[in-house]
Chains A and B, each alone.
Chain A
């Protein structure tokens, strides 16, 4: 039995098992989910043989499944993040209803993702893409909160993306006669410019919707924040990477070879604009979920820019950031989920001062935020550095400024996220909050350990990225375990950075705590220097409302026009058109008869032109 088919059967079987497990009773369901969450990665890492392929023909279309290195890189993200998210989900979804459908669609979306990464031809790619879409749709509307708006918006956008891809597939099939990806890549040069652009752009459209590039990102904030947090970490961590996977092989394999770099360049620009605008809107959110949703759109913007540029260093940066983004975004959404479960709400105007009560969650959130912001000791910096170096090396300097503006503004919402949820005043109404259950903490800790390690040894990720890039046409990708080099020969030894930061930190830690720590007394946050005024425990001294008001005043002209406005008007226009169409069917027989007569008359008059005599 071919290992790939077995993998698919395991995941599908796991989904069904956990569905019926949860239908029977909760504990059995949780056990099955836990077992499935362990079996899938173990099987993938040990048994799956990455060279063999399995193929079968269905109604005249030849379908083939098989791993290539590029797919292996992305399925590593899926295989690491989703089991952890599943284990986290056991803790997170403890007292929710309808768990059966939740786990069923969760595992089916994993099936969809692994399928996409394995499929070597367009039909199976499209099939798994659709499975992934509708299973994630079921989860977007799982909590039933304003199903109408976010659910339908998500479905429409993914449908548009999927059907654009289907159109491209059909046209490719007509031109190349076969559905295989390799044939398409091979014969891409032979197409006429018009079909080249048509098929390429349509494929790009399909993938860009999933990776939330600016004009098509409207579904992302709603979808990311309404889904249960356990799934959002996979949703934004792994699912959006499918879009990146697709962008990767389209932009790099096709357009680069067929010297159409202009498409990649435009895509990079769209990525940069996405990064800036998404960061600006992330800064002013007061709900932690929305903030993270916009921030993951911004991070995807970086990755898209990286891939769009197309030089070896920038693609390496893009793919490296993709891996990192999956890790720290996964942790951050798990953190928000833990806070939501323990403190009841994630609205930063309400919650404050959970650091002391949820120390582990705060620690992992801190690590993830440092990685997200790209600050030196941790892995995020490596990705950012490579991105900047690649941009500067082929001197498109305006984009560097855009990316830098968005990453500096990213510090704002990084601080706001940590301060809003964890630091600030310790309010009495949150005294009851306890640390999240260990089932939720362990996945978070594992991922943050991964982030810490990549800080010093980014090589462990570079290995797989380099392998992946061989499929994209970059054969000898030079990377060292912990020294980053750019085209002009400058290099940063990340280990030195790590070493000096740790050494200096420990030195001064000893200096400050020596003899001082014992004397100092622990103070509650109510005993602050408030010019002598007596602060009673119930006085709310938290500062959270309108956190970056001055920045908002500066950005007023930019933030005025909102992209949703255009979509709403477009939607209303469509509604009016549909209403007009419906009026055709007036509902009384006579008009229908008149229609028939008129139609007949028209045909008779124009019979000369229609039938040619």
Chain B
């Protein structure tokens, strides 16, 4: 009993941690972007207020079961991914279910949510959301390739397909994977903005052009669930990057520091860049990042 109860408590705590940290990251990024645009910017806890307000919305609109399930797929994906990514190296408390989360499994679970949400967006019947989804999936094909190349390179180089395995390699050898397999890191880094759908690749939810794309028909509670899952997913991706390339974090503060610095990269790049069209973004992803991916693979193979 002690193990299971402990694990569940750990799981719930990690989710709350992820939610809070994710939200604050969102707040910080909005603040920083505002500062870049030379304006005051909202308070850092603004995201909490937005989610809270949306939760308290009185009426809600329903297009059918799939529409109702869409945010559920999203939140399930992000929490399940969280379950399988080791948050702290040996942290007793936040070990959660993270058996040796297999990388290929993580790759696929990340797609699970967006596909579910795509179906929900599709069922609303709004042409904007359908266009948004088709662009989102096309972009996904784009950025998945360099991301997978980086991961495969890591797997082949260190002969393990699990995140914990890679973390052990880093802890034994002492050097972060960032340095021991640099090309994989560069490829993964270049693929990161696509994953976050920040500014250069935010055509999917373009507010003006597509009336916020897939989520155009989701209001009230649905939107709040999506925002929470968005923030948790951001946190999860960041911890995954940290685990893979920066040797994981022994305690919370180190984790927050590392993830935040990593987080700044897509946010800052997003703040200053215009929006790519879909085929431009796919061509970009299949350009330099894939080139680095190939080098990483070759580097890993020999």
Contacts and interface: CB of A to CB of B under 8 A. Distances in A.
B80 A501 contact: yes
A508 B72 contact: yes
Contacts of A385: 102, 104-105, 108
Interface in B247-302: 277-279, 282-283, 286, 293, 297, 300-301
B131 interface: yes
B179 interface: no
Interface stretch (B24-32, B43-51, B117-125, B192-200): B117-125
Size bracket, chain A contacts? 35 or more
B126 A490 contact: no
Interface residues of B, number: 77
Nearest to A427: B125
Top 5 closest pairs, chain A to chain B, by CB: A525-B125, A550-B278, A423-B122, A543-B127, A520-B60
Contacts of A97: none
A520 B71 CA distance: 16
A10 B121 CA distance: 50
A376 B62 contact: no
A529 B217 contact: yes
A423 to B, nearest CB: 4
A426 B123 CA distance: 9
29 contacts: A355-B66, A366-B119, A373-B111, A376-B80, A376-B109, A389-B104, A392-B152, A397-B153, A401-B148, A401-B152, A401-B293, A404-B107, A404-B144, A405-B144, A409-B141, A419-B133, A423-B119, A490-B160, A490-B162, A497-B105, A497-B109, A500-B79, A512-B68, A512-B222, A521-B61, A525-B125, A528-B124, A528-B217, A554-B283
Interface stretch (A410-418, A455-463, A579-587, A590-598): A410-418
Given A389-B161, A411-B111, A551 B119 contact: no
A493 to B, nearest CB: 7
A521 to B, nearest CB: 7
B99 interface: yes
B17 interface: no
A216 interface: no
A548 B105 CA distance: 27
- Decide if the interface of chain A is mainly helix, strand, loop or mixed: helix
Interface string A546-576: 0110110110000000000000000000000
B59 A547 contact: no
Given A496-B97, A554-B279, A505 B152 contact: no
Interface in B126-171: 126-127, 130-131, 133-135, 137-138, 140-141, 144-145, 148-149, 152-153, 155-156, 159-162, 165
B225 interface: yes
Given A425-B125, A490-B160, A543-B131, 12 more contacts: A374-B108, A376-B105, A400-B148, A409-B141, A411-B111, A418-B119, A419-B118, A424-B123, A497-B80, A512-B222, A513-B68, A551-B138
Contacts of A519: 58-60
B156 A395 contact: yes
Contacts of A411: 111, 115, 137, 140-141
Given A520-B59, A550-B277, A353 B115 contact: no
A415 B148 contact: no
A490 B154 CA distance: 15
A401 B72 contact: no
Interface of B: 58-64, 66, 68-69, 71-73, 75-76, 79-80, 83, 97, 99-100, 102, 104-105, 107-109, 111-112, 115, 118-119, 122-127, 130-131, 133-135, 137-138, 140-141, 144-145, 148-149, 152-153, 155-156, 159-162, 165, 211, 216-217, 220-222, 225, 277-279, 282-283, 286, 293, 297, 300-301
B100 A490 contact: yes
B300 A516 contact: no
Contact of B160 (A401, A488, A508): A488
Given A392-B155, A423-B66, A376 B60 contact: no
B221 A516 contact: yes
Given A490-B165, A501-B76, A408 B301 contact: no
A381 B80 CA distance: 15
Contact of A496 (B99, B134, B283): B99
A353 B138 CA distance: 23
B105 A492 contact: yes
Interface centre among B102, B109, B217 (most CB of A within 10 A): B102
Contacts of A548: 134, 137-138
A541 B160 contact: no
A491 B100 CA distance: 8
Contacts of B130: 419, 424, 543
Nearest to A377: B112
B251 to A, nearest CB: 25
A235 B220 CA distance: 48
B97 A408 contact: no
Contacts of A381: 105, 108
